[in-house]
Copies of this chain bind each other. A is one copy, B any other.
């Protein structure tokens, strides 16, 4: 067995192609199926992410039904049903039965899914662990309902339809998708569970109505907002992220006839003058036949741009000042919505939220939103991470969000704790982008791009400052309350002493002291016993007001032109 493999020739026979399905069958932990508890979460997540994407793209308020039922020890039936637009018949087998097939990879648009391996990965896991096919029911609302039972032929990464059926009932106008998986799993309701995922989905998608039949009974998450968020717009790539390899491919594939129109039509934010500047700086020239001089060749055919010109173009791009990508391609939750969500679900005593202006990494726009909630019903420190509205429950260790939280010096803001604030604090971070750089296909952590970490950190520091000012107000108020109580407690004795000293009547003196104390400190004490805290003098706007301002400011920028925000993120 060993001797055969000693030469190049004998090694050559061993080489084979690996299908992407085989690859993930063996590396299923890369898709989030490391263990039975997590597997159940991943299946639900893939189904729900797709359901939310589909309803949102069709501008339908999502009604989502989820059922997790144990049908045998550690064998579960998982049902996910939505009221989305449905899927046309011919696409059903490939969407569910082929990995790396989807509508979201070849575009730049903020969505939950992006890779085309989520839901088919769940089909793969189900058949791997139980040998069962997955059932899909779909209708586009035309009275026809398509039912499929399918598996994946892993050797070729193609769907294998086990059964298919169409039923017609023109009185039934239901549209949507219902998926039923039979897979190994383990249902638990701890921190990294289906339940926690759905709770956090409810926070980050308050316009969704979710009904969840758990093995222990039904839980409902009612819709909190009756309005879908603004639809994110699809954008073209930005030149700032372009590299020679991609440029080569785009030059080859473009329908543009000249290099100049190629630059202005295939990329966002490239005007005619910028395009001309780039070509000039890249030194792409041709001879003017009349003057015999070399002139910039703006009209060279993209197909004729040679390797050295492409390299020069990429270098020239770095020297040209371009407007940042548009901001309306992103659909953040908004500081107000985060504020409402945190208050509704966590009932804290204080919450500060903030949406940062959009930034760019590798040419792709992104935006960071942060919330810090404190006290009230919160008991333990918790970090909630989200990417394009999807809660991230695993692989926190290597996530850019965790890194950023760890870089904040929490002690400076009056909070104990080293990497994460101690005490009753929830830190909420949402990363929204047209392309989320996940650290693995299981989409559980965001890669550590420095600009991403920096943005999150800045937002966290801003919210932490507000919390610090609230806490210092609280602490001052607490000290005043104690002082006031002491004055009140000893008012009688003080009055007696003053009576002896001045000969004045004790009673009116005592009353005067109590009145003075009340006038000076009464409001503050009332505030910390339930109302607003004192505004610390050194911080001009009170925290609550500050927060709203942030939200409004951001709301405005959403409507306006992105160009205005060129410097906002710097």
Contact = CB atoms under 8 A, between A and B. Distances in A.
A29 interface: yes
A129 B440 contact: no
A309 to B, nearest CB: 10
A83 interface: no
B85 A30 contact: no
B18 A116 contact: yes
Contacts of A8: 85-88, 140, 175
A90 B29 contact: no
Interface stretch (A207-215, A366-374, A441-449): A441-449
Given A9-B140, A11-B85, A12-B90, A243 B105 contact: no
Interface stretch (A61-69, A96-104, A421-429): A96-104
Interface in A1-46: 1-2, 5-9, 11-12, 14-20, 22-23, 25-27, 29-30, 34-35
Given A9-B140, A15-B94, A106-B18, A131 B307 contact: yes
Interface string A431-443: 0000101111100
Interface residues of A, number: 85
A35 to B, nearest CB: 8
**This chain: copies in complex:** 2
Contacts of A449: 34
Nearest to A234: B1
A48 interface: no
Interface string A101-120: 11101110000000110000
A246 interface: yes
Nearest to A20: B20
A303 interface: no
Contact of A243 (B34, B90, B129, B248): B129
B101 A16 contact: yes
Given A101-B16, A243-B128, A447 B23 contact: no
A102 B15 contact: yes
B115 A85 contact: no
A1 to B, nearest CB: 6
B249 A103 contact: no
Contact of A100 (B18, B154, B448): B18
Contacts of A9: 88, 140
Interface in A125-162: 127-132, 140, 154
A15 B101 contact: yes
Contacts of A440: 30, 439-440
A132 B246 CA distance: 12
B7 A140 contact: yes
A326 to B, nearest CB: 12
Nearest to A176: B8
A116 to B, nearest CB: 5
B6 A57 contact: yes
A129 B245 contact: yes
Contacts of A91: 12, 15
Interface in A166-194: 175, 184
B2 A231 contact: yes
Contact of A101 (B18, B86, B245, B307): B18
A311 B30 contact: no
B100 A5 contact: no
A82 to B, nearest CB: 12
B245 A34 contact: no
A398 interface: yes
Contacts of A95: 15
Contact of A29 (B105, B439, B450): B439
A393 B566 CA distance: 37
A379 interface: no
A505 interface: no
A512 interface: no
Interface string A272-304: 000000000000000000000000000000000
Given A8-B175, A30-B441, 20 more contacts: A5-B57, A5-B58, A6-B59, A9-B88, A11-B57, A11-B87, A11-B88, A14-B107, A15-B102, A16-B106, A18-B106, A19-B100, A20-B20, A25-B246, A27-B438, A29-B437, A128-B243, A131-B310, A132-B307, A395-B398
* Nearest 6 Cβ contacts at the A-B interface: A397-B397, A128-B245, A131-B244, A14-B103, A8-B140, A18-B100
